[in-house]
Amino acid sequence: MRAVIGDYTIRVERRADLRWWHTTLASVLAIVVSLFLVGFAFLRVGADPLEVYSEIVKYAFLSEFGLPQTINRATFVLLAAFALIVPLRAGLWNIGMPGQIYAATLAAFGVAYAFGAKRSVNVQLPGELIIPLMFLAALAAGAVYGAIAGFLRGRFQVNEIVTTMMLNWAMLWIVAHMIREGGPFMGRTAEGEGFTLPTSLRLPQILGVPLTVYIALALAVLLTWFLAKTTLGYRIRTYGESPRAAEYAGIDATRISTLVFALGGLLAGLAGYHYFAAVPGVFKIPKNYADFGDFSFYGLITGLIARNNPIAAIPVAVLFGGVSGGARFMQGKLRLAFGIDYALLGVLMIMMVAFQALAHYSVRVERQAAVPRPQLELERGESRVESPRH
Partner 1 sequence: MPLSAQGESDERSVGAARERSAGRVVLEARGITKRFGTVVANDHIDLTVRAGELHAVLGENGAGKTTLMRILFGELQPDEGEIYLDGQRVRFRSPRDALRHGIGMVHQERKLIPAHTALENIILGHPKTGAILNLREAEREVSALCERYGFRVPLHAKVWQLSEGEKQIVEILKELYHGARILILDEPTSVLSPPEIVKLLESLTRMAKEDLAVIPFITHKLPVVLEHCDRVTILRRGRVVAEMETRHATEQTLAAAMVGREVVLQLERVEVPLGDPIVRVQDLWVRDDRGLFAVQGLSFEIRAGEILGIAGVAGNGQEPLAEALAGLRPVERGTITLDSIDITHAPVLERWRRGLGYIPTERREVGSIPTFSLVDNVLLNYHFEREFSRWGILASGQARELTERILREYSVVAAGPNAPARSLSGGNLQKVILGRVLSRKPRFLIACLPTHGLDVGAAEFVQRKILEAKQSGTAVLLISEDLDEILALSDRIAAIYEGQFTGIVPASEASKELVGELMAGLRRERV
Partner 2 sequence: MSSLLVISLAAAAVFAIAALGELLEQRAGILNVGLEGVMLLSGTFGFIAAKTSGSYLQGFTVALLTGALVGLLHGFFSITLGSNQVVNGMAIWILGFGLTTYIGYPYTGPLGLKPFPTVAGLPMFFLVALALAIAIWFLLFKTHLGLKLRSVGENPSVAEASGISVTGLRYLAAILAGMLVGLGGAVYSLVYNPVWNYNYLQGWGFIALALVFFSLWNPFLVVAGAVFFGILWQLSLYPELLFPNVFSRYIWRAMPFVITIVVFIVLSTRWFRLRWGATKPEALGLAYQREN
Residues that bind partner 1 (CB under 8 A): 229-232, 234-235, 237-238, 241-242, 244-245, 247-250, 252, 374, 376-377, 379-380, 385, 387
What's the residue count for the chain?
Answer: 390
Look at residues 361, 260, 348, 264 and name the one whose alpha carbon lies nearest to residue 306.
Answer: 348
Specify the residue, 312 or 349, whose C-beta has the smaller distance to partner 2: 349
The one segment of 174-182, 201-209, 247-255, 274-282 that binds partner 2 by CB under 8 A: 174-182
CB 285, min distance to partner 1, A: 37
Instruction: Decide if residue 171 touches partner 2 (CB under 8 A).
Output: yes
Specify the residue, 46 or 250, whose C-beta has the smaller distance to partner 1: 250
CB 389, min distance to partner 2, A: 6
Number of alpha carbons in the 13 Å side-chain half-sphere of residue 250:
1
CB 154, min distance to partner 1, A: 14
Instruction: Decide if residue 173 touches partner 2 (CB under 8 A).
Output: yes
Of the candidate residues 350, 364, 366, 368, the single one contacting partner 2 (CB under 8 A): 350
* Residues 1-60 within binding reach of partner 2 (CB under 8 A): 14, 41
Instruction: Decide if residue 371 touches partner 2 (CB under 8 A).
Output: no
Q: Give one DSSP letter per residue of 79-116, joined into a string.
A: HHHHHHHHHHHTT-----HHHHHHHHHHHHHHHHHHTT
Of the candidate residues 85, 267, 330, 352, the single one contacting partner 2 (CB under 8 A): 352
Specify the residue, 54 or 157, whose C-beta has the smaller distance to partner 2: 157
Pairing of strands 205-206, 209-210: antiparallel
Specify the residue, 37 or 121, whose C-beta has the smaller distance to partner 2: 37
Amino acid at 271: A
Given partner 2, partner 1, none, residue 69, with its beta carbon under 5 to 8 Å by kind, binds: none
Specify the residue, 367 or 380, whose C-beta has the smaller distance to partner 1: 380
Number of alpha carbons in the 13 Å side-chain half-sphere of residue 300:
19
How far are the Cα atoms of 13, 72, 358, 360 from residue 363, in angstroms, in the given order?
Answer: 7, 41, 10, 10
Look at residues 193, 209, 210, 192 and name the one whose alpha carbon lies nearest to residue 201.
Answer: 210
For residue 11, what is the enclosing H or E element?
strand 8-14
Of the candidate residues 169, 214, 225, 248, the single one contacting partner 2 (CB under 8 A): 169
Site for partner 2 (CB under 8 A): how many residues?
Answer: 59
Specify the residue, 15 or 333, whose C-beta has the smaller distance to partner 1: 15
Of the candidate residues 67, 121, 174, 211, the single one contacting partner 2 (CB under 8 A): 174
Instruction: Decide if residue 301 touches partner 2 (CB under 8 A).
Output: yes
For residue 65, what is the enclosing H or E element?
none
CB 15, min distance to partner 1, A: 15
Tell me if 77 sits within 8 A of 310, measured CB to CB. Answer: no
Residue 4 phi/psi, 5-degree rounding, is -110, 125
Q: Is 204 exposed, middle or buried (0-12, 13-18, 19+ CB in 10 A)?
A: exposed
The one segment of 69-77, 139-147, 157-165, 201-209 that binds partner 2 by CB under 8 A: 157-165
Distance CA 301, CA 31 (A): 11
Tell me if 216 sits within 8 A of 299, measured CB to CB. Answer: no
Residue 369 phi/psi, 5-degree rounding, is -75, 155
- Site residues, partner 2 (CB under 8 A): 14, 41, 93, 95, 152, 156-159, 161-163, 165-174, 176-177, 180-181, 183, 294, 297, 300-301, 304, 337-340, 342-347, 349-350, 352-354, 356-358, 360-361, 380, 383-384, 386, 388-390
